[in-house]
Amino acid sequence: MATLRSLLTEICEQWPIAVNETFKAHPLAKKFRTEFAEKVAEILADRYSHLSIKASPGAGQWANVAWLSMLDKVVTTTTQDGFYPVYLFKADGSGLYLSLIHGTTKPMAEFGKVKANALAAQRTAAIFQVVPKLKAWGGVTVELAASTSLGRSYEKANITAKYYSLSNMPKEEELISDLLELVNYYSQAKAVVITKTVNEDTTNQIDTTSLMMTPLPKPFILLAGVSGTGKSRFVHKQARKSEHLASGNNYELISVRPDWHEPADLFGYISHLGHDVAQYNVTDVLRFMVKAWLEIIDKVVDVDGELVWVGKPLTAIRPFWLCLDEMNLAPVEQYFADYLSVLETRKWLTATELETHNERHDTDHEYIYQCKPLLKPGVIGQLNDLGGKGKAQLCKDLGLDDEKHESLWQYFIENGISIPFNLIVAGTVNMDETTHSFSRKVIDRAMTLDFDLFYPNRFEVFFDQPLKPKTLTFPTRSAVTKADLVTIAIDPDGKKSINFLAAVNKVLNRTAFQLAYRALNELLLSVCCFDPQNENELLAVWDDFLMCKVLPRIDGDQEKLAVVTAQEYSDETLLDELEKCLKGQLQGIWAGERVDLLQEPVEGAEAEMVKCRSAEKLDWMKLRLKTNGFTSFWP
């Protein structure tokens, strides 16, 4: 039988000629399906005979990119889904890749391009976490000289790959060693496949082996709790969990000062003092934002006279964590006002919008993210005096004065600097006599996590914690469409969640705590992010949403929280009415237990259920109102 090297060489050499000839019964197509597939099966026979070998030079006509895949049925039975090792031959016959790639056809058909890419990014991160050596095994770039969208999709689906040039084909021993090594890594990476186990005491399915990152519904969270619970440490550890994706620091700690009162304190300002020209005083926060953009942007191109950035694959982008320590030492509504406003302008094109955009502009974007600028182009334009010395200094201060960043700097000059989608702002919060309270404007735009309930300090297991926080990442959508909800088996049209929030809002109607469309959108975002598979998980999403978005809004004394009808004054309060409502809406978990969506067991430990958080918090708020005559969400 021919060697692997001779087969790879022959296929590459003959391919450019063969594709111009009749496909049917062509000897090269036959050799590809038989001899080539049999040789790979022979090499894998001793240890990996369970793998299914599929070879395709085309179906009815020559493929633009020929391939041979090796599938483990535990991971996938089709090249359209899962992930698998594959040989990919360049369309021009100049070489081939041995690659580990994602199957993309089914996820894109089911979820749309944006969500499918986000899921692939999560899986890649999990694979590198399970098999860290795989990251250094090959490269992330695959260029197949493809002329079809299907051929180009293989390039973007790559996890890692080695390239073999026809003009410098490695020796047989190296080719076989590479193949066995990649298949061995593939076998180890099977741990990434999510398995479900049924808890013996309930019918609730608990995810015990999830290694995926959990996308946040919103990239702004408040970590509230008493001093010393580990809030700042939590943020740092979250950033470190994604270090395996790339080198470099994706964490920045900023200590908030009590004298901050305007956005310039955080994002910088133009100054003429001590300079011969206007200069922009750059802050660490602005530098960190630019670092996050450098993580995202692959290149800047000119499209019809307009500069447009093209992002790297989501699989290669880490979340950048900005920790604002003691965030409420200063009035957040003042120094954070610009960020709070611009945050609401974030927009990801939906799958339909993206497809329309790509067809109209003849582009092939995997995703498109838009956001109004925090640092407006008009402000940068004010630095043009004396030959633009101020502008050049800003470029240098932001670390963009390298020649390779020239086009990106020009893009920022024309469009300003907006919030990068991989930036997650986490504010640590202590509520005492030295701090400021939060307005509903801030609470509405944040996810509030009562750290003592979501990540409780358990002294009894201080040295051997059975649970660990799940790895969180940035969201890849800013609004929910019907198509996004189709995959949520327990609530495929969102009606259950909509009816739940409508019932809650009926209690809050005509009070200062009434909810609006933003709250509904963010509830549905939570449903999409946590992807509940059964009723217990859906109720857990609702429970956490109440804790993050609804209960933090409520505060006041007996008079403010009184229930007043047209007929009479009632001794019951708004908290009593809300409790009645939630007992019915969360009936399945109100007096029982639910899945923890933000923590998971460490290796070797058992999954744990938690009590209904909103029931516990609401009971505490009612007791505080009765005892002190005033209540709020905050400790």
Q: Quick one: which of 607, 515, 383, 104 has its CA closest to 398?
A: 383
Structure tokens at 357: 């955009």
pLDDT band at 243 (very low <50, low <70, confident <90, very high): low
**Is the predicted pLDDT of residue 277 greater than 80, yes or no?**
no
CA 104 from centroid of its chain's CA atoms: 18
Contact 317, 340 (CB under 8 A): no
Average pLDDT for residues 433-460, to the nearest whole number? 91
CA 196 from centroid of its chain's CA atoms: 22
**Is the predicted pLDDT of residue 65 greater than 90, yes or no?**
yes
**Is the predicted pLDDT of residue 307 greater than 80, yes or no?**
yes
Instruction: Give the chain's domains with CATH numbers.
Output: 4-192 (3.30.920), 207-218+446-635 (no CATH), 221-432 (no CATH)
Torsion, CA 10, CA 12, CA 14, CA 16, rounded to 10:
180
**Is the predicted pLDDT of residue 454 greater than 90, yes or no?**
yes
Q: What is the pLDDT of residues 555-610, one digit of tens each?
A: 999 989 988 665 565 678 999 999 999 999 999 999 999 999 999 888 777 778 99
The predicted pLDDT at position 386 comes to 59
The predicted pLDDT at position 179 comes to 96
The predicted pLDDT at position 199 comes to 31
Cα distances from 611 to residues 264, 534, 595, in angstroms, run 43, 17, 9
Average pLDDT for residues 288-303, to the nearest whole number? 93
**Is the predicted pLDDT of residue 208 greater than 50, yes or no?**
no
pLDDT band at 267 (very low <50, low <70, confident <90, very high): very high
**Buried b / exposed e along 229-262 (16+ C-beta atoms within 10 A):** bebbebbeebbebbeebeeeebbbebebeeebee
User: Which residue type does 114 have?
Assistant: V
**Is the predicted pLDDT of residue 200 greater than 50, yes or no?**
no
The predicted pLDDT at position 266 comes to 95
The predicted pLDDT at position 147 comes to 87
Q: What is the pLDDT of residues 365-387, one digit of tens each?
A: 888 999 999 999 999 998 877 56
Q: For the chain, what is the mean pLDDT?
A: 88
The predicted pLDDT at position 198 comes to 28
What percent of the chain shows pLDDT beyond 90? Answer: 63
Q: Which residue has the higher pLDDT, 225 or 247?
A: 225
**Cα–Cα distance between 128 and 189 in angstroms, integer?**
8
**Is the predicted pLDDT of residue 202 greater than 50, yes or no?**
no
**Is the predicted pLDDT of residue 246 greater than 70, yes or no?**
no
Q: Which DSSP string do the residues of 294-307 spell out, in sequence order? A: HHHEEEEEEETTEE
**Is the predicted pLDDT of residue 209 greater than 60, yes or no?**
no
Contact 513, 553 (CB under 8 A): yes
Q: What is the pLDDT of residues 185-195, one digit of tens each?
A: 998 887 666 33
**Is the predicted pLDDT of residue 360 greater than 90, yes or no?**
no
The predicted pLDDT at position 458 comes to 87
pLDDT band at 158 (very low <50, low <70, confident <90, very high): very high
Structure tokens at 572: 């019951």
**Is the predicted pLDDT of residue 19 greater than 70, yes or no?**
yes
**Is the predicted pLDDT of residue 206 greater than 70, yes or no?**
no
**Cα–Cα distance between 415 and 392 in angstroms, integer?**
17
Q: What are phi and psi of 458, to 5 degrees?
A: -110, 95
H/E run at residue 82: none
Structure tokens at 359: 């067809």
Q: Which residue has the higher pLDDT, 180 or 76?
A: 180
Average pLDDT for residues 22-33, to the nearest whole number? 93
**Is the predicted pLDDT of residue 335 greater than 90, yes or no?**
yes
Q: Which residue has the higher pLDDT, 131 or 216?
A: 216
Q: Which residue has the higher pLDDT, 62 or 277?
A: 62
Q: What is the pLDDT of residues 250-260, one digit of tens each?
A: 999 999 999 99
**Is the predicted pLDDT of residue 429 greater than 80, yes or no?**
yes
**Is the predicted pLDDT of residue 244 greater than 80, yes or no?**
no
**Is the predicted pLDDT of residue 315 greater than 80, yes or no?**
no
The predicted pLDDT at position 203 comes to 33
Average pLDDT for residues 315-340, to the nearest whole number? 93
Average pLDDT for residues 530-548, to the nearest whole number? 94
Average pLDDT for residues 444-452, to the nearest whole number? 94
